[in-house]
Amino acid sequence: MKLKCLLLDTPMLHSRLIIAMSSLTWAVLLLLPNHVFEQDIYSIMAVIAREEVWGLLFLVHGIAALYSLFNGTRNKVTLLFDGFLGTILWSTSTVACFAVFWSIDSTSVYSYAPPAVMSAELWVALTSWWHLIRHWAEDEREHYARRIFGTKRYP
């Protein structure tokens, strides 16, 4: 019951701020001329798009997320650029980085050894999914949140 209250009845302001600042940090690191994608962990991301494209997308998401957070704006535009774009970016980058460490020759999950630091990125990705779900459900038409979660509306 406490977990339900924590997930459904509390504002996500701090989580949203962490997601936004994480996106802006990724953007800065990817847009600097330090060739981050030369590291093996980003090889799959490099196949999907160039480093600068990832950096610009993370920058757009970070700015949209901060705008949505500080202005209290929640509409279809922020759903697209804050909720959906953030979820796609964080999910894709996380899965791509985890996938690099999966050995094709391996037949055992015990040989799978991603870096422990990836656990933080995994939780940012999962939090971005939860933010997307709550962003959609807590639409200005309050009945969505009540019908889906049986809860009040919070930012």
Q: Does residue 2 lie in a domain region?
A: no
Distances (CA, A) of 98 to 15, 52, 106, 118: 22, 21, 15, 8
- Spell 31-41 as b/e; 16+ CB within 10 A means b: beeeebbeeeb
pTM for the predicted model, two decimal places: 0.81
71, 46 contact by CB (below 8 A): no
Any domain includes 155: no
Work out how many domains the chain is built from and give that number. 1
125 domain-assigned = yes
Q: Which domain holds residue 132?
A: 12-101+110-149
List % helix, strand, coil for the chain (3-state, nearest 5). 75, 0, 25
Residue 1 lies in a domain: no
Give 101-133 pLDDT, tens digit per residue: 876 666 666 667 777 888 899 999 999 998 888
pLDDT band at 48 (very low <50, low <70, confident <90, very high): very high
